Amino acid sequence: MVKYSLNCSIQTVPDDWAEYVDGYAGGPPIKEMESRFGAKWKPELRDTQLFLRRKAVYDDVTVLALS
């Protein structure tokens, strides 16, 4: 099981999206981690909370891209 902590220094939507689909600084893509491992890849509550806040951005960008 891969454990990954979200990058807390990300401040922009493009950087947030890049971490989600491509990975950040050599890390795995969040989208892949979520689909493969569900919630188990987040090692700390802080990561779960940050992911849930960012998930709104991921969902909005996906909706905009598909429309």
Q: Where in the chain are the domains? A: 13-66
Q: What is the mean pLDDT of residues 43-51?
A: 91
pTM for the whole thing? 0.84
64 to 29, 42, 43: CA distances (angstroms): 20, 27, 30
Is 2 or 3 the better-scoring residue by pLDDT? 3
Q: Mean pLDDT, the chain, as a whole number?
A: 91
Could you read off the pLDDT of 3-20 as tens digits, one per residue?
888 899 999 999 999 999
